[in-house]
Amino acid sequence: MSSSSQFKQLEKLGNGTYATVYKGLNKTTGVYVALKEVKLDSEEGTPSTAIREISLMKELKHENIVRLYDVIHTENKLTLVFEFMDNDLKKYMDSRTVGNTPRGLELNLVKYFQWQLLQGLAFCHENKILHRDLKPQNLLINKKGQLKLGDFGLARAFGIPVNTFSSEVVTLWYRAPDVLMGSRTYSTSIDIWSCGCILAEMITGKPLFPGTNDEEQLKLIFDIMGTPNESLWPGVTKLPKYNPNIQQRASRDLRQVLQPHTKEPLDGNIMDFLHGLLQLNPDMRLSAKQALHHPWFAEYYHHAS
């Protein structure tokens, strides 16, 4: 355990759901860190969300996961000491906007980031951990172009996937249709859906399904991916928020949706890969490990674990 006197607090980096984040300096080593401060309510003690994040993060040591170095517990606050990352994927993509026109990333960079995202995610999933809130803001990038998963505030160790989880997870735009329809038996496949949404956004520079509420979010998904039915997705009609009166739609060609927003041609490999992530039926989505062995990543195979 370090003491807070070991760290010098520098500028504020932002406010999270339950914490304020500062850039900090380890005075002993001269290394920059990110200090995530959680204010403690004297009545309530340490928020369970923070305790959950700590116990998970300390176990997760992987080059594509933001490292939690230490935890400093004082009477009125809890400080999590993370490795410092220069940027996040959202800011990185925003910085490439020209005027008001969003621009996607070059496809070789998209692939490099997606590979790193899936490496970190496969490690989480092997350790029985769901991230549950993957979005560009939670994917941190350093000056070397390394991408790391951050903010496991909502993550929760899962054993058997029939755990009853709350449906209040994952920012709407990246939320899987099974979660939106009230499924509480979800597992690793919810993170895979989020990866698909992030991949499409890296290609075009804009979110694929930017809904403002659950209902609109599902409509946007079905407009492109088609309306699910029992033959494509057994059990879908029994989900709590399934709407039997929803207008039936056929799926659109995803390449035609994305291609106008990128100058580079989207080949069969990348489209097949994206379809593997964005399956409406959660059981049909690729696992993180399967995704890493997709032909789109052929040039990276020799690094695969």
pLDDT tens per residue across span 46-93:
666 667 767 777 778 999 999 988 888 877 788 889 999 999 999 999
Average the pLDDT over 127-138 and give the result.
89
Quick one: pLDDT at residue 40? 72
Catalytic residue among 88, 133, 178, 191: 133
Residue 280 has pLDDT above 60, yes or no: yes
Quick one: pLDDT at residue 170? 54
Q: Tell me the two tokens of residue 184.
A: 């509480």
Quick one: pLDDT at residue 141? 97
pLDDT band for 16, please (50, 70, 90 cuts): low
Flag the least confident range among 91-100, 189-198, 289-298.
91-100
CATH of the domain at 26: 3.30.200.20
Residue 109 has pLDDT above 70, yes or no: yes
- 119 and 168 both lie in a single domain: yes
The reply, when asked if residue 36 is annotated as ligand binding, is yes
Q: What span, in angstroms and rounded, lies between the C-alpha atoms of 258 and 271?
A: 10
Average the pLDDT over 30-48 and give the result.
78
CATH of the domain at 97: 1.10.510.10
End position of a domain, from candidates 83, 108, 133: 83
Quick one: pLDDT at residue 46? 64
pLDDT band for 295, please (50, 70, 90 cuts): very high
- 49 and 137 both lie in a single domain: no
- 168 and 297 both lie in a single domain: yes
User: What is the extent of the structural domain holding 43?
Assistant: 4-83
Instruction: Reply yes or no on whether 133 is catalytic.
Output: yes
Quick one: pLDDT at residue 163? 39
Quick one: pLDDT at residue 161? 36
- What is the DSSP track for the chain? ---GGGEEEEEEEEE-SS-EEEEEEETTT--EEEEEEEEPBTTTBS-HHHHHHHHHHHH---TTB--EEEEEE-SSEEEEEEE--SEEHHHHHHTT-BTTB-----HHHHHHHHHHHHHHHHHHHHTTEE-----GGGEEE-TT--EEE---TT-EE-SSTT----S--S-GGG--HHHHTT-----THHHHHHHHHHHHHHHHSS-S---SSHHHHHHHHHHHH----TTTSTTGGGSTT--TTSPP-PPP-HHHHHGGG-SS---HHHHHHHHHH--SSGGGSPPHHHHHTSGGGGGGGGG--
Q: What is the pTM of this model?
A: 0.89
From the CB of residue 106, how many other CB atoms can be counted at a distance below 10 Å? 14
pLDDT band for 137, please (50, 70, 90 cuts): very high
